[in-house]
Structure 1
Amino acid sequence: MITRDNLQFYVRTAENCNLNCKHCFTSGRNGDPSVFNAENTSNYIQKIVKTFNVLNFRVVLHGGEPMLAPISELNCFIDQLQSIPQLNSIGIQTNLAYELSEEKLTFFNNHFKQYGIGTSWDADLRFGLVDFKSKTKVLKLWENNVRTLIENGHNLTLSICLSKYLIDHFEPRQLIEYAIDLGFQNILFERITEDGSAITNNSIRPLNLHLDRWLHKMFIQTLENQYEKRINNLFLGELATSYISKTHTANRCRNCELSLITIGAAGDLSGCPNSAKEVTWGYINEPISTPLSSSNRLNAICKEKIRNPICEQCDIREICNSDCYKLPWQDKICAAPKLIMKEMKRNNNINDYQRLL
């Protein structure tokens, strides 16, 4: 029971991190110092592809911080992956809060110019930022690394974590213009799930009602300022796809637990990378069917398919598809961007929404 088309592997090349963010689903600096074994991991991926006759797949290097793994092991892993004909693309999500040595820059230049690089910006959670006037040392380091990669011809995606502090202190246009000024090609707004460190740091998450209003403001400011001509907004693009074509992707696909596999540095297996540390299926050295048929995996698949009964009465359910099942409800209020979807449905400005694709 696995998706044959567009299967995705998240590979945690390292379990720990050079940062210690309050919202992160990893253990940060206190994490297991283990790094992955390139050969064992690539062999498992090849086994999955062959056993289930996978048509195409994507791999994302993840963590922890993936660049804490030895470059030699990372190079070996990518070389082995590229020998698999069904490989579609290789990506990486890295915090870029480290010295970008010649060795690391060469690694990026050799492998990711075709596919792109993702990095995060988390305001108070990551950079200790109060406003754009007083930048911390780590933020300046991150900005310099971003500029260096863009100067080297890379396509970068900025993921912005929507913490309570952020939506209380920043206007959407500030963040979008900041990303544009730095040279990012794509921007993604991410909501916080109840996983990892966010479980014990619950105060960092905004109220769903306030989050909905902020995201709606982001939608309005994007259309008014025609930001889509200068940067690709992946969050709004996903919503526009849902509205125009009634096709549910990414956050609203409700098929993640069937279409992705997270492989930990110790060879542990799980689904959604956000809950990978808490909900494991088994290990790559077990018979291939054992982890895939584990009770933890089957329970996660069932949870993703079950909707809150309130969704059945919602007038935008055909657009929303109940959103990501990992996002917590607050009483009867979900974390979906309902105001955006309601406005799309009410105004039906297809031409405006097609600009967001």
Structure 2
Amino acid sequence: MSSQKGLNGLVLKIVSRCNINCSYCYMYNMGDESYRLLPKKMAGNVVDHIMERAARHCDEFEMKEFEFILHGGEPLLAGKSFFREFVEKAKKQFEKKQVRLRIGVQTNGILLDTEWCRLLNTLSVNIGISIDGPADRHDRYRKDHQLNGTHAKTLLGLHTAQLESCKIGVLSVMDASTDPQAMYNYFNQLNIDDLDFLWPDHNYEKLPALYQHQSPRPDYTPFGDWWIRLFDCWFADRFTRPRIRFLNQVVLMILGRDAGFESIGQEENRYLIVETDGSIEASDYLKACGDGFTKEGLNIERHELSEAFHTPLMKMHRQSHRMLSDTCRRCSIKEVCGGGHIAHRFGKDKGFANPSIYCFDLMKLLTHIQNKILDNLSAKTIREAGLAKMSYQDALRSINM
């Protein structure tokens, strides 16, 4: 067995088109036009190669679990027969290996009806639905191709999935101009138990509008301030508190358990993308760095998954929390932050050898959460865990600000 760790799973772009047109989408609206050259739908022979390669990968690394996340574009455009055949092929390949298989789909929810929900339940496919908050916020960015808002149709899909007792999670792209308390209340009212907010996909070449064309600075942290207010709402909620993945991960890491993932922590990133034509790529968020940026010439038909560990971009993505800028290496919170998401570090001058554009936001947020947690622990627990309070100013001094 290899000394390296195997992949936790694959994100499969089973379609390369979408039935809506979100303004912030890294697939279609951040400068990468490579989707135009891809098949609109993943062919059956590509699925066959995926199953064979993934099964061999599990053998090579003695994996006991593996995950497929069906993605797009809008994955439900692939059709019900694709999902039935995909799950059938997966079970046939993995059941005999005693590998626990997890399958999920990330959808905008518009096509979810009773028939779809019952099928996904029957196939044991978990459902992630993208909702960006109340209609005024969601419809600002998530429009169809006729520029109509999609909130009402998405909520109808969500409610249908809830009525059918589907296992549901909600993914929302955070908007630092919104009220975090109102957002928290909104999702609580929808009875969402599993929730996450994504940091917007920006880098040094595409700064957030809130920065007003200025570089990040320590006295202006709108994204960190938004997260702090959300955390305080969430932490104070003793009755209806949902799981918010990013906050759960931060709390666990502060308490000494590295449960990190692509955005934070010290763990390797152990997922890869497979496009509709079988191309193997690093994180799809990296499409925001430029046209064709993620293309490295590997394809599931010709290459084993472990070969992706050695291409420049996929290797950097896998080890991104260890391949840090000089500023990050000096930072006193790097064990939790991990330099942030690699896509947020990109700039044409230095490539990825930068702190995240959200560096100061993360620093302010993480020190706030640590201090809030310590306020709720006994002195004995704090002492035994070797924890200590750290202010935002203390963290800034560690990078010589």
With normalisation by structure 1, the TM-score equals 0.81
SS in 2 for 1:34: coil
Change (3 A) 1:66 1:351: farther
**Aligned residues between the structures:** 336
The answer on whether the counterparts of 1:93 and 1:117 sit within 8 Å (CA) in structure 2 is yes
Deviations 1:320-347 (A, max 9, x none): 2323222236898616532332123334
Residues 90-169 of structure 1 mapped to structure 2, 5 A cutoff: 90-98=103-111, 100-112=112-124, 116-122=126-132, 127-128=139-140, 138-162=150-174, 166-168=175-177
The structural deviation recorded for 1:303 is 4.9
What is aligned with 2:375? 349
The structural deviation recorded for 1:311 is 2.4
Change (3 A) 1:298 1:237: closer
1:35 is the counterpart of 2:73? no
Amino acid at match of 2:129: T
The structural deviation recorded for 1:102 is 4.5
SS in 2 for 1:14: coil
Amino acid at match of 2:168: L
What is aligned with 2:63? 54
Change (3 A) 1:312 1:52: closer
Computing the radius of gyration from Cα coordinates, the structure with the larger value is 2
What is aligned with 1:323? 340
Amino acid at match of 1:342: T
Change (3 A) 1:256 1:74: farther
Residues 257-272 of structure 1 mapped to structure 2, 5 A cutoff: 257=269, 259-272=270-283
Amino acid at match of 1:27: Y
Indicate which of 300, 305, 315 corresponds to 1:298: 315
Separation in 1, partners of 2:172, 2:329: 30
1:182 is the counterpart of 2:190? yes
Amino acid at match of 2:121: N
Deviations 1:302-330 (A, max 9, x none): 65531122223333233323232222368
Deviations 1:106-139 (A, max 9, x none): 3222124xx6321112357852279xxxxx7521
The structural deviation recorded for 1:268 is 0.5
The answer on whether the counterparts of 1:4 and 1:53 sit within 8 Å (CA) in structure 2 is no
Separation in 1, partners of 2:208, 2:7: 34
Separation in 2, partners of 1:248, 1:25: 26
Change (3 A) 1:230 1:154: farther
The answer on whether the counterparts of 2:127 and 2:168 sit within 8 Å (CA) in structure 1 is yes
Amino acid at match of 2:293: E
Amino acid at match of 1:93: Q
The answer on whether the counterparts of 1:8 and 1:57 sit within 8 Å (CA) in structure 2 is yes
The answer on whether the counterparts of 1:252 and 1:321 sit within 8 Å (CA) in structure 2 is yes
The answer on whether the counterparts of 1:92 and 1:118 sit within 8 Å (CA) in structure 2 is yes
1:7 is the counterpart of 2:33? no
1:214 is the counterpart of 2:214? no
SS in 1 for 2:150: helix
Please identify, of 12-21 and 329-338, the stretch whose mean Cα deviation from structure 2 is larger.
329-338
Please identify, of 37-46 and 139-148, the stretch whose mean Cα deviation from structure 2 is larger.
37-46
The structural deviation recorded for 1:149 is 0.4
Separation in 1, partners of 2:78, 2:207: 28
1:233 is the counterpart of 2:244? yes
The answer on whether the counterparts of 2:6 and 2:57 sit within 8 Å (CA) in structure 1 is no
The answer on whether the counterparts of 1:23 and 1:204 sit within 8 Å (CA) in structure 2 is no
What is aligned with 1:133? none
Deviations 1:262-287 (A, max 9, x none): 11111010121322663134101114
The answer on whether the counterparts of 1:262 and 1:271 sit within 8 Å (CA) in structure 2 is yes
The answer on whether the counterparts of 1:167 and 1:211 sit within 8 Å (CA) in structure 2 is yes
Change (3 A) 1:22 1:125: farther
Q: Name the Cα RMSD after superposition.
A: 3.3
What is aligned with 2:384? none
The structural deviation recorded for 1:142 is 0.8
> 5+ unaligned residues in a row in structure 2: which ranges?
143-147, 346-353, 379-401
Separation in 1, partners of 2:330, 2:59: 43
Residues 333-344 of structure 1 mapped to structure 2, 5 A cutoff: 334=359, 337-344=362-369
Residues 234-249 of structure 1 mapped to structure 2, 5 A cutoff: 234-249=245-260
Amino acid at match of 2:209: S
The answer on whether the counterparts of 2:194 and 2:243 sit within 8 Å (CA) in structure 1 is yes
> 5+ unaligned residues in a row in structure 1: which ranges?
131-135, 353-357
